[in-house]
Amino acid sequence: MTVLQDSPFVRACRGLPGPHTPVWFMRQAGRSLPEYRKIRAGVGMLESCRRPDLVTEITLQPVRRHNVDAAIFFSDIVVPIAAAGVDLDIVAGTGPVVAEPIRAEGDLARLRPITPADVDFVTESVRLLVAELGATPLIGFAGAPFTLASYLIEGGPSRTYLKTKAMMYGAPDLWNALLARLADITLTFLRVQIDAGVSAVQLFDSWAGALSEADYRRYVMPHSAAVLGGLADAGVPRIHFGVGTAVLLEAMGEAGADVVGVDWRTPLDEATKRIGPARAVQGNLDPAILFAGWETVERETRRILEQGAAAPGHVFNLGHGVLPETDPEVLTRLVALVHDVSGS
């Protein structure tokens, strides 16, 4: 086991004190970095996720630049479902597009279980990265069953989740069969990453905020809990993140998280009241604040560090991913600020 238990990041995830508040950014690897745009030129997104040389280089780029406290494995939430047999592509500027969406019982056969051999490129990439990263922890990740199902059912990104909700409410047996399959694939995919040496995992339920708490608990939480609960003995912290989840924070913690990701809509002290004292929080600077000038960035960062102190552990992050237009120098400066303000 290569879990970096004494790193500031893993300690904060476990609610233990450390030398400073650790910080990393969702989508820290990606289009905000010129070196990323250069290495990705002419290479498709899915192809880049399957090439260990590219995965390693792209994952390391923001670590070299920003002095963040953790790296996040470069991949995408649809990589395991592509490995499970679903014909899909990641279209620049749009996101995942599924050739034949899943709408009926017979379509489930297109989503078979995966074995570690189906994602051997993940094992190889994680091993290379863990060796390169040394004392910096690597975060593995996967999409949660609801968010994955939304792409599979809609066929691509959606504003209303109309077909997704129609299946969830109107065909609950099919819905539960689909989400159970996705939970199984996700659990295997995260175990592969843990076995290869990641120090933490993040389950992205980015679009769960489309649901009420009651419906989240009824239709989604059991499947996410199967994933997170299935990793209870794995020895790595589990982060559970979504957007627009103010009313879901308590349930997302209960689903089996050690750390609950919070977007910018809920202050971290308020989030901690809802989540309770047993779990750390991660967040929650609005990614758009990075465009508002340094004074505003500094003021908002100080506020978030103060409010985060109410939680047993705080991992500083944005409330959602880095926007492609972000000036990377602002991110570098933000990391230094978080370390400086929170350091003893």
Ligand X SMILES: Cc1c2[nH]c(c1CCC(=O)O)Cc1[nH]c(c(CCC(=O)O)c1C)Cc1[nH]c(c(CCC(=O)O)c1C)Cc1[nH]c(c(C)c1CCC(=O)O)C2
Residues tagged active-site? 27, 31, 40, 76, 151
Q: Which of 206, 224, 301, 326 binds ligand X (CB under 6 A)?
A: 206
Tokens of 221: 């939480």
Q: Which is nearer to ligand X, 246 or 310 (CB)?
A: 246
> Taking CB under 6 A as the rule, which mask of x and - marks residues 293-322 in contact with ligand X?
----------------------------x-
Closest to 193 (Cα-Cα) out of 265, 253, 120: 120
Q: Which of residues 268-297 bind ligand X (CB under 6 A)?
A: none
Residue 31 binds ligand X, judged by CB under 6 A: yes
Q: Which is nearer to ligand X, 15 or 244 (CB)?
A: 244
* Dihedral of alpha carbons 185, 187, 189, 195, sign: negative
Residue 265 binds ligand X, judged by CB under 6 A: no
CA distances from 137 to 5, 52, 128, 202, 220 (A): 9, 18, 13, 13, 30
Stretch that binds ligand X, among 71-79, 158-166, 304-312, 336-344 (CB under 6 A): 71-79
Residue 320 marked in a binding site: yes
Beta carbons of 219 and 205 less than 8 angstroms apart: no
Q: Which of residues 143-182 bind ligand X (CB under 6 A)?
A: 147
Residue 51 binds ligand X, judged by CB under 6 A: no
Tokens of 255: 């689903």
Q: Which of residues 112-141 bind ligand X (CB under 6 A)?
A: 141
| Calpha distance 220→284 (Å, rounded) | 24
Residue with tokens 């040394």: 134
| Calpha distance 282→7 (Å, rounded) | 16
Q: Which of 10, 23, 26, 174 binds ligand X (CB under 6 A)?
A: 26
Residue 151 marked in a binding site: yes
Q: Which is nearer to ligand X, 95 or 116 (CB)?
A: 95
Cβ of residue 278: shortest distance to ligand X, in angstroms? 25
| Calpha distance 155→97 (Å, rounded) | 6
Cβ of residue 248: shortest distance to ligand X, in angstroms? 15
Count other Cβ atoms within 10 Å, centred on residue 332. Answer: 15
Residue 72 binds ligand X, judged by CB under 6 A: yes
Residue 29 binds ligand X, judged by CB under 6 A: yes
Tokens of 258: 């050690």
Beta carbons of 205 and 211 less than 8 angstroms apart: no
Residue 206 marked in a binding site: yes
| Calpha distance 84→144 (Å, rounded) | 15
Beta carbons of 231 and 203 less than 8 angstroms apart: no
Cβ of residue 157: shortest distance to ligand X, in angstroms? 6
Q: Which of 90, 111, 252, 304 binds ligand X (CB under 6 A)?
A: 90
Cβ of residue 62: shortest distance to ligand X, in angstroms? 7
Helix (H, G, I), strand (E, B) or coil at 192: helix
Tokens of 66: 């920003």
| Calpha distance 240→262 (Å, rounded) | 9
Which residue's Cβ has the minimum distance to ligand X?
A: 206
Residue 204 binds ligand X, judged by CB under 6 A: yes
Q: Which is nearer to ligand X, 38 or 117 (CB)?
A: 38
Orientation of helix 162-170 relative to helix 172-196, angle to 10°:
110
* Binding site listing: 27-31, 76, 151, 206, 320
Residue ranges that bind ligand X, judged by CB under 6 A: 26-31, 40, 45, 72, 74, 76-77, 90, 92-96, 141, 147, 204, 206, 321
* Binding site listing for substrate: 27-31, 76, 151, 206, 320
